[in-house]
Amino acid sequence: MEAKEPTAIVQQRSLLNRWSIFALVFVSAMSTVLYVSNVIGVKKLLVESDVLQRRIDSLRTVNESLRTESYRLQSADRITRIAQEQLGLIPPPQAPTVLEEKTSR
């Protein structure tokens, strides 16, 4: 003979099963929301990183261009040409001699 459970216990189990299912669905939904927000955050960081890397590359190109222009402007040939054309300076026939003074101790 099977023993029948009281209806109060059956109702409690039914209620407990409903709350368990609700809790499982709630935890699953929250986990999904957290995962998706994390994926969205990582995607934003990757896009920002890519934009900043492009900006760095652009600034490096500009910096190299400015360095090349600086070297061109500092070249001895250019300075000598401008000194002759605009200032009327004449280059010396021979390079100057540097005399060093010897110091005795």
- In this structure, the chain runs to a length of 105
Both structure tokens of 85: 């054309």
Q: What is the pTM assigned to this prediction? A: 0.54
Summarize pLDDT for 44-72 with one digit per residue, the tens: 999 999 999 999 999 999 999 999 999 99
Q: pLDDT-based confidence at 2, cuts 50/70/90?
A: low
Q: How confident is the model at residue 105, as a pLDDT?
A: 63
Longest dimension (CA), the chain: 130
How many Å apart are CA 51 and CA 43, to the nearest integer? 12
Coil, helix or strand at residue 74: coil
How many Å apart are CA 82 and CA 91, to the nearest integer? 12
Residue whose structure tokens are 């054309």: 85
